[in-house]
Every structure is written in structure tokens, then in C-alpha cells.
Amino acid sequence: MADEVSVLVEGGKASGGPPLGPALGPLGVNVGQVVAAINQQTAQFQGMRVPVVVKVNPQTREFTLTVGRPPVAALLLKEAGKEKGSGKAKTETVGDVSLAAVKKIAEAKGEDLFGRTIEQKMNQVIGTCVSLGMTVDGKDPRAVLAERLGAPVKGTA
């Protein structure tokens, strides 16, 4: 049976310090090797927090990594060139993304999203734009959802 450690690390910048080092140290695995492997596999997600699961075989001290995808919010912020969302999402806009970028994110997240079709997954990504205070093609994301669903969405009137 393998021991498992789940952490969120910044892409390409994992270190032997907390939270990774203290969690891996007692498992007897070479922390430096694990950190190097994580940094190699997460380098493409520079500037974003990425979920990583490290499984360690206690007998052999061998490890396997499972690198997840960054959260939708992080992908949207990267696409818009912003570091964080609005603290006042309903009244303050911090950035804009295109519908094409929304589709790209929905496709990248794939099975991580709840929708069955790409359209449903795109709607979920657009909903995240509401929470972040971002517009979609210059429009309020609630209005974009209303157009896509063919019905008024609460809060757009």
C-alpha cells in the first residue's frame, strides 16, 4: 500500500520546504528527487498553482507523481494577463477573455468540469468569469450565459 501526499505547488517552483518537504520527509523518499520531478512536470504552468499527488511505496521508497491541471480561475487569469480576480466581482471588472479562450480552457480542463458537452463546460467556465469579475468578449458574463441559454439569467437585468 502506498502513502500519498497531496499538495498545491506553483508550477516549476516546488521546493523542499513546506508543505512538501515536511510531508515527504517521514516517508523516507529523496525529497530532492521528488521536487526535481515535480518542477520538470509542472514547468508549463509557471505562475499558476497546480495540484500534485505524490504516491510513495514504503518498502521500496519509489514514488509516482500525478500532476493535475490548474483551476479554471487560474487559467482565466493567465489568459487575461491578470494576477488576481476582483474583490468586488459584481461591480468591478478586472479583465476580459474571448469566447475562444473560454472554449480552449473548457477543452483543456476536460473531465475536470461537470458538463457532458463542450457547450456545458464552456458555460461553467463563463460562470467562473462572474466570480472573478471578468468580462467575456467585453460583455457581462451573465449576459453571455443568457444569450447562450436563450433565457434571462438572474442578475443581468
pLDDT band at 28 (very low <50, low <70, confident <90, very high): confident
The pLDDT score that the predictor gives to residue 152 is 67
- The CATH 1.10.10.250 portion of the chain extends over 72-149
Fold of 3-67: Ribosomal protein L11, N-terminal domain (3.30.1550)
pLDDT digits (tens, 9 = 90+) for 58-116: 889 899 999 988 889 989 998 999 988 888 877 889 999 999 999 999 998 988 899 99
pTM: 0.72
Cα dihedral: 81, 86, 90, 93 (round 10): -40
- CA gap 121, 108 in Å, rounded: 10
pLDDT digits (tens, 9 = 90+) for 29-73: 999 999 999 999 999 888 888 899 999 998 898 999 999 888 899
**Using alpha carbons only, what angle is made at residue 147 by residues 94 and 74, rounded to the nearest 5 degrees?**
35
**126, 136 contact by CB (below 8 A):** yes
The pLDDT score that the predictor gives to residue 102 is 96
Residues 6+ apart with CB under 8 A from 44: 11, 12
> Which of the four CATH numbers 1.10.10.250, 3.40.50.1000, 1.10.287.110, 1.10.1740.10 does domain 72-149 have?
1.10.10.250
Cα dihedral: 105, 93, 114, 117 (round 10): -60
